[in-house]
Structure 1
Amino acid sequence: MKRVTIEDVASLAKVSKSTVSQYLNKRFDYMGEDTRLRVEEAIHQLGYQPNIIARSLKQKRTSTIGVIVANILHSFSTQVIRSIEDTCRENDVHVIVCNADDDPKKEENYINMLRAKQVDGMIIFPTGGNIELYQSMVYDQYPVVFVDRIVENVDIDTILLDNESASKMAVEYLLQAGHQRIAIITPSLERKVTPRIERINGYKKALQMAGLPIRNEYIKSLEIHRIHSGLEEMFAMDEVPTAIIAGNDLSLLEILRFVKKKGIKIPDDLSVLGFDEVPFATIFEPSLTTISQPAFEMGKKAAEILLERIEGSENEVQQAQIHRFPPTLLKRDSTSSLKR
């Protein structure tokens, strides 16, 4: 079948090609209602589909961005992606989502693939393992925004939680409830992931401010598959924790599996407080106290900054910033006052 062209639409609608082009680009300011309806009807009648590749070449844009997630299993990540997609859809921009699975090599491959596809920019939850590649994008003035993780010495806009304040908030809440033996569990610090490091730092600072000792045996940063054995060690001590903070949603799941297996009652035997508002927080029994990140606001901000970078002049030097968002403590039934 012969491909329907913009000339065919213009001929049927009895308008110029430039008028059809204005319609396709949604420039209706100087277009009469009758003209707009004729073009719309002609497009519908002919089944015309714009040549996206040709338009991209002409505009030097693809109206597409890439999102590379370090680990798509995190509920926070999926919430941020949803918000990014919503914001981009409102601006007629398509989104390609890739999961690096915390693997720098996969991340490198995805970055190179997306650039080869000429996406207009990227939002990356960085693994931190591709410093030279990140720096090359900065050098090329390629639009990039990081989410959730700071990469030192790389000048890229970054969106993340005020993690130290969040863990201080968690510790102070548990201290007010009478707990002093407070533990914290996070995934491994091997890759120097920003939220994990900052949440432990905030935990330590809160204890110091309260005049309490920092007990290293109450701090575990392990690969997810090793968290269970780390909890076994912790709860084999003479003085077991009376409260525990889960550094993220995957750590929380491991803690909940452990207490169920051991018959530990929440909150009677152990108060549990998690990071990230997991979908089952309100339906779990007892309902889970969490530190919530404003994931949708963070995703929206990331998308808005990237779209601004894409729209900006190639010669315009813009200073990258770190954008911190405040946490919210959602008090529920998995934490309680310590019985004396």
Structure 2
Amino acid sequence: MKKITIKEVAEAAGVSKTTISRFLNHNYGNMSKETKERIAEVIQRLGYRPSKQAQALKSKHSYLIGVVVADISNMYSSLLLKGIGTILEKSGFQMIIMDAGNSVSREKELLQRLLDQSVEGIILQPSARQSEQYEFIKKHNIPLLLVDRQTEPKQWPSVLTNNVTATKEVLEKALNQGYEEFFVLSEPIKNVSTRELRSQTVVQTVLAANKKCQIIEVNSKEELIKAIDTILTKPHKKLLFASNGRVLMESLTVLINKEITLPDEIGITGFDDWSLTALVGPGITSIEQPSQKIGEVAAAELLKIVVENSEQPAEFIVPSTIRWRKSV
């Protein structure tokens, strides 16, 4: 099948090749609505697909956005990427997805690879806490936007959820329900600001009410099972708080397999990245994080920087929704 050329599109639309090029590069200027609609109709009718490489050479734009997530196997990452992709596609940009595998050294290698591919911006779920780890990106004058986590000191715009207020609201209700001991279950906290923020909020809220609280970090399912076994032996009314969706679902799996009655024997809540807690047991009270929406906001705000060259505020908060059910 013969490949349609930009010249043929221009002739069919009754405009110049320059006008078609401007349309493809979203550089509309004074182009009328009628002309834009006519060009779009011709492109669709002829099945014309512009060469991204040619566009990049002519416009000096790659139309590529790099996205690096800490762990692509996490459902949070999947929904985040879906949100980012939805917005970028509408704007004519493509994303290059990289998985750091929770490795700071691998993350740096991937970021360098993205810079070598001339991406126009980067969305990063950082694996490191220190901003200095990402200084080399600034030297390339490439816009960087963080998602889910923040680095210290704050240097780049970020899109987060309302970790503190949502956590505190759930904990205060649990305290009113008469819980005496609280246990935060989390994957390793050290390099992840979000986990630390949520855990600290639980501790501060519980200690302020003169109740007991303990943070337990787990690296494997075996460690999680052992931790839950120990917690179940505690005599007082107790509550588990899971720091993210993976820990929450794995904890629920352990409790269900042990035939533990919720919330009679133990209460449980936490962050849910998967929106699945309504399907478990009596229905799990959870903080439902809008992972896909965070991705959409991140992509939209990065494009403002890339396309409009506009300065953005330091932090965007996409609120989570608390789902009050029967596990607390």
* Residues 138 and 156 in structure 1, CA contact (< 8 A), matched pair in contact too: no
Q: 1:44 to 1:188 in 2, by over 3 A?
A: same
Deviation string, structure 1 residues 92-122 (Cα, Å, up to 9, x no partner): 2222222222122332232122222212111
Structure 2: stretches of 5+ with no match in the other structure = none
The residue that corresponds to 2:208 in the other structure is 209
Tell which structure's C-alpha radius of gyration is larger: 1
1:223 to 198, 208, 219: 219
User: How far apart are the structure 2 equivalents of 1:140 and 1:11?
Assistant: 41
User: How far apart are the structure 2 equivalents of 1:203 and 1:172?
Assistant: 10
* Residues 76 and 276 in structure 1, CA contact (< 8 A), matched pair in contact too: no
The amino acid that maps onto 1:127 is S
The residue that corresponds to 2:291 in the other structure is 295
The amino acid that maps onto 1:234 is I
User: How far apart are the structure 2 equivalents of 1:307 and 1:24?
Assistant: 17
Establish whether residue 322 from structure 1 lines up as the match of residue 326 from structure 2. no
Deviates more, 1:320-329 or 1:280-289: 320-329
User: How far apart are the structure 1 equivalents of 2:306 and 2:172?
Assistant: 42
TM-score normalised according to structure 2 size: 0.86
User: How far apart are the structure 1 equivalents of 2:258 and 2:36?
Assistant: 73
Deviates more, 1:219-228 or 1:10-19: 10-19
Deviation string, structure 1 residues 56-97 (Cα, Å, up to 9, x no partner): 122121222121111223333322222222222222222222
The residue that corresponds to 1:338 in the other structure is none
User: How far apart are the structure 1 equivalents of 2:33 and 2:83?
Assistant: 35
Deviates more, 1:7-16 or 1:152-161: 7-16
Establish whether residue 247 from structure 1 lines up as the match of residue 247 from structure 2. no
Deviates more, 1:101-110 or 1:23-32: 23-32
The alignment's C-alpha RMSD in Å is 3.0
User: How far apart are the structure 1 equivalents of 2:321 and 2:126?
Assistant: 24
User: How far apart are the structure 2 equivalents of 1:77 and 1:181?
Assistant: 32
Q: 1:240 to 1:3 in 2, by over 3 A?
A: same
Deviation string, structure 1 residues 115-161 (Cα, Å, up to 9, x no partner): 22212111111101785551111233311100111111351111212
* Residues 9 and 43 in structure 1, CA contact (< 8 A), matched pair in contact too: no
The residue that corresponds to 1:139 in the other structure is 139
User: How far apart are the structure 1 equivalents of 2:23 and 2:164?
Assistant: 50
- Shift of residue 240, structure 1, vs aligned partner: 5.4
User: How far apart are the structure 2 equivalents of 1:33 and 1:162?
Assistant: 44
The residue that corresponds to 1:284 in the other structure is 280
Alignment of 1:67-86 (within 5 A): 67-86=67-86
- Shift of residue 202, structure 1, vs aligned partner: 0.5
Structure 1: stretches of 5+ with no match in the other structure = 336-340
TM-score normalised according to structure 1 size: 0.84
Deviates more, 1:160-169 or 1:177-186: 160-169
Q: 1:309 to 1:263 in 2, by over 3 A?
A: same
- Shift of residue 187, structure 1, vs aligned partner: 0.8
Establish whether residue 311 from structure 1 lines up as the match of residue 307 from structure 2. yes
Instruction: Give 3-state SS (helix, strand or coil) of 1:282's partner.
Output: helix
% identical aligned pairs: 26
User: How far apart are the structure 2 equivalents of 1:112 and 1:78?
Assistant: 23
Q: 1:265 to 1:62 in 2, by over 3 A?
A: same
